[in-house]
Structure 1
């Protein structure tokens, strides 16, 4: 024991470091401290040693605490988080499998109604997600904000997770939060281009679907400077963008926002061959300027009506 280190702190350190041999020695052959170990809570969250073993991914320590010391696999902390939540959120497949094989509730809820599957979807460890689903985890459950695991994976930008969820639960995309935001809204707002592309390809979101504040995925993309996503939405969702842009302007949105390649909303409108959108942006004072490759927005115009917009504003094409 290190100088000044109490026995509870020593036990915690050994569990976190995965030192099962030293943990056994400290507890003694008859496990005389098993009652203390079972009841001990650590920190403000009230975690047990079982939570820490799951969080750090030490499956052998986890098994020792459960099988030898008799700790309850459903023990929860002050946030109602179980060891399965910890293992799933940190991507420890062996610990997740062990807990499920020992009978852990696959859809147990922590504070705010998060399931282990939801927490696993905050990471890209597809193997953990598969283990949970194969043990009966329900992808359609929602947390208190109305998000299911598909929504969460859309925010995190994990297309491979989303493809798997669509395969095992084809209807998981068709969901809204409590404020009527779809996974498409979320992916567009967070700049997850690959996810937006996948959602437009495999899901049937309505063009310009609005949340409770009237915000569309296109608005989310423009307001957060993700012009490449705005362009993609213009190309795939041809309806209603004139009204959307007018709404953006009325809300004081920065129409001069550019993406990482210096492309503006005007580039997006021209790439999507949206004449009315281009006209509104030009009338709002947005100047055509070259992107990082030297390409002007008008050079992307192909349809006669889009070309006409620039001719009307005396921009030579």
Structure 2
């Protein structure tokens, strides 16, 4: 047990001579020297820490397989890519390791590299055959992940390698444009819309949500304005529950989005969803007292009822949103549950 810890510690520090001394003295089976909880071997540790000489020693002199997986199916190449250790990635690939191994959660090294900001590793993996089209268990591919992280250089590179990545959709119908809009990456949104066909831009996911709706509920007004101004998305669109962007802005309690939709898109503050819920109902349901106050100041009608016959005050009471109840009772003291 003590020797195992020394080996793993030496791998983490890049101490090849310490590893050689331990091996000469003990003649251990390197493959059995792993962390009990994770199954990480000295190869995994060295790959994360960035010591290609340790990888070289363990593989070429210690006889360890560079494809050794931990308990999650993660291999040294996964760790090297995830921790942006280019020299380790370079050595592992030079030794012919599998370029697209899937760990248990179905993530490839390229996917992990795309969650970082290291262009060189992404390009190196792709140039050696890594596929950006492979999908994880949720249907996300490397391009989705790059769009989520917002690295314009990586997104542009992948798109230049394979323009059909624009058509990527996750299992719940999410496109790269949804992802970029939700996470507030304006330059990525602009790039994706400029490179795609008009009829593919305003796609809805399985919940009926568009990229504009994602931008609105996350408060990314500059992206929302761009999508509307360029006619990529319509502010009159409805999701699967019949809600428009103004409903989603209220539900998120996002005042900048509410004001953008009212002032620049001229949406109706009392617009009904399919169940007759108004923005005020949704803000009250979620307990967004500041948004409730703001909507009232913007002339939201608190007397309107949803399809269940409830005013916004009744909804607030049903969902135990005390701050909203107190606020709305000032205007409608006679409403009851």
- Give the TM-score normalised by structure 1: 0.78
Aligned to 2:214: 220
In 2, Cα distance between equivalents of 1:34 and 1:236: 65
In 1, Cα distance between equivalents of 2:12 and 2:209: 45
Change (3 A) 1:84 1:239: closer
Change (3 A) 1:278 1:43: farther
Aligned to 1:71: 64
Change (3 A) 1:200 1:70: same
In the TM superposition, 1:90-105 aligns within 5 A as 90-105=83-98
Aligned to 1:298: none
Q: In the TM superposition, what is the alpha-carbon distance from 1:19 to its structure 2 partner?
A: 1.4
Q: CA-to-partner distance for each residue in 1:122-174, whole Å, 9 max, x for gaps?
A: 11111111111111111111111111100001111111100100111121121
Q: RMSD value over aligned CA atoms?
A: 2.4
- Give the TM-score normalised by structure 2: 0.74
SS at match of 1:112: coil
In 2, Cα distance between equivalents of 1:224 and 1:43: 41
Q: In the TM superposition, what is the alpha-carbon distance from 1:26 to its structure 2 partner?
A: 2.5
In 2, Cα distance between equivalents of 1:115 and 1:212: 25
Aligned to 1:173: 166
Check the 8 A contact 1:208/1:217 in 2, yes or no. Answer: yes
Q: CA-to-partner distance for each residue in 1:190-220, whole Å, 9 max, x for gaps?
A: 1222221221222336343211111111111
Gaps of 5+ in 1: 272-276, 289-317
Check the 8 A contact 1:117/1:137 in 2, yes or no. Answer: yes
In 2, Cα distance between equivalents of 1:8 and 1:32: 11
Q: How many pairs does the alignment contain?
A: 272
Alignment counterpart, residue 41 of structure 2, candidates 22, 26, 48: 48
Gaps of 5+ in 2: 272-278, 280-294, 299-337
Aligned to 1:253: 250
In 2, Cα distance between equivalents of 1:66 and 1:167: 36
In 2, Cα distance between equivalents of 1:24 and 1:265: 65
Aligned to 1:12: 8
In 1, Cα distance between equivalents of 2:163 and 2:150: 19
